[in-house]
Structure 1
């Protein structure tokens, strides 16, 4: 007997209902401004700006390493030159002593052809012989002394050559480090620039205005002027550099990186500072940020990979990053690691 089944109810099937519900959810999400699940949150302008910031920070660290390696290359070049000069002087002394030893040996050879006793026996003038014998004895003593000096100078020359070879090897290693850090900087800067180029023009402009500024309110600071006349001169120099471009590895006067600006500004005041921000933070007396006065050095991040000069009024002058000119920014633009009074 044939079975009779109840016909399906009118309306949507399960799959059709699911489709409609999905469409409704998508419509609601769009109306509420939700980001579709398939969208990559990493593609937002904010995340790209953060990535550019990170790349600039990494490039800045590499720039400071580049600067430090450059300082070592300069020092090693001087050391190599001194060592090579020492080797040349030592070789000249050795050559002169060789000539002196040759003259002494020749004199002894010329006078030593006959046994001294026979020479005395056949001498027609014993007094002259004795005078000559005494001179030869003195000549022998001098020969021994010259020989000892010659051996000593040869040993010193060997040490000078060893020092020169080590200095040359260190110079080659430092040159390789300079090249390596330079490649790192260039690679990170190129990546950062490519990311910036992907941003709309409005976002690029906003990045230029807002990067490294306004990140927290500056603390209450002293309103006093520069602590010393040299600090005042350095402040005037730093002010005169405002508007000049950031150029990585440069220390003025046409362009600057962050530590290059500080070094150049204090050089105008007659003060020699180290080349890197890490060394500059130790170039004076450490003080609290609350006591900062114009001319004090403000180092940023725990590794002091960025540095600026406090100008008063809660502002620093610094060379921010490639593509940006030397400018004023709030002292609290980044985490402050130390303040140094030169």
Structure 2
């Protein structure tokens, strides 16, 4: 039975069955569980990289929209200046087509002529000023167009990056699901228990009253208990790890960055011994997982695909930092 299970597991990981285990393939239940841990960890890291790229794409899309609005307004200004210049040029041509000395000689009312000449001088001055403003507006419009083209090119590059990262996540999760299905039910349960086990930690200080916003964020996280993990999701019906923390704190009126790495620095970092309910707890050296501290040595988090938002021990993974938004 075990040999058959491991053979299927090796096939799921893309390793050809052999009389002996191929290098790197699981050769027992413990190795299979370690491989699952590795795949889910890598999938989570890839998910956070996807979230970062997707967030950048969204910012670029918004900037492209704002650039289009700016260019439209600037084009209206250019058109208006052109119309004004055309009107002024027509008026000057109609009134000033004759040589000034001849116009004065034939004028029936020299005083009236001099008044008109002064007006024409002012029109010329205004025309020169509007022409200068038009040139400036055209230069600004050209610069805006060049920046918009660069932004759109960057957006296209980031879109391709998002697509590539999405494939990476999907591939790792597919391999993890295939491997998980090869394990007997008792081994799956043992792996899940191991994933939820806590580590020995120093006593945590929870004597301070939780602030209003922290309490609201924690209440939102509790309301999300039982909702499914979906990579790339940030609520309200499904979440990945950083999507849950961003959504929960957003319900408290605090805007957090999208990724766990960025959330790690989105506030005051405090020692683990001073963790209070509502604090963000990031895990692993690369801060690729994040949870909300719930008190009593527990966190609320979105663990992985196939596992709903739940409580787990705060020491379930190596802790990178504790941040108070």
Q: Same fold (TM over 0.5)?
A: yes
1:135-154 equivalence runs, <5 A: 135-154=119-138
Counterpart in the other structure of 2:273: 290
Report the CA distance between 1:224 and its aligned residue.
2.5
Q: Does 1:185 align with 2:143?
A: no
List alignment gaps of at least 5 residues for structure 2: 1-18
| Contact 2:264–2:323, Cα closer than 8 Å, also in 1 | yes
Cα displacement string for residues 131-169 of structure 1 (whole angstroms, at most 9, x for unaligned residues): 111111111111111111111111111111122222212
Match of 1:202 among 170, 174, 186: 186
Counterpart in the other structure of 2:154: 170
Largest Rg, 1 or 2: 1
- TM norm structure 1: 0.85
1:72-83 equivalence runs, <5 A: 72-83=56-67
Counterpart in the other structure of 2:293: 310
Q: Secondary structure at the match of 1:338?
A: strand
Cα RMSD of the aligned pairs, angstroms, is 1.7
Report the CA distance between 1:206 and its aligned residue.
2.5
Q: Secondary structure at the match of 1:43?
A: coil
Aligned partners of 1:105 and 1:268: how far apart in 2?
A: 60
Aligned partners of 1:39 and 1:139: how far apart in 2?
A: 95
| Contact 2:26–2:35, Cα closer than 8 Å, also in 1 | no
| Contact 2:71–2:141, Cα closer than 8 Å, also in 1 | yes
Q: Secondary structure at the match of 2:26?
A: helix
Q: Does 1:247 align with 2:230?
A: yes
- Report which stretch shifted further, 44-53 or 215-224: 215-224
Q: Does 1:123 align with 2:107?
A: yes
Q: Does 1:329 align with 2:316?
A: no
Consecutive aligned runs of 4 or more in structure 1 exceeding 6 Å deviation:
none
Aligned partners of 1:127 and 1:221: how far apart in 2?
A: 95
Q: Does 1:96 align with 2:96?
A: no
Cα displacement string for residues 17-73 of structure 1 (whole angstroms, at most 9, x for unaligned residues): xxxxxxxxxxxxxxxxxxxxx542733121111111111111111111111112112
Q: Secondary structure at the match of 1:204?
A: helix
Aligned partners of 2:113 and 2:80: how far apart in 1?
A: 31
- Report which stretch shifted further, 40-49 or 237-246: 40-49
- Report which stretch shifted further, 170-179 or 92-101: 170-179
Aligned partners of 1:191 and 1:304: how far apart in 2?
A: 23
Counterpart in the other structure of 1:30: none
| Contact 1:239–1:317, Cα closer than 8 Å, also in 2 | yes
Aligned partners of 1:268 and 1:62: how far apart in 2?
A: 26
List alignment gaps of at least 5 residues for structure 1: 1-37
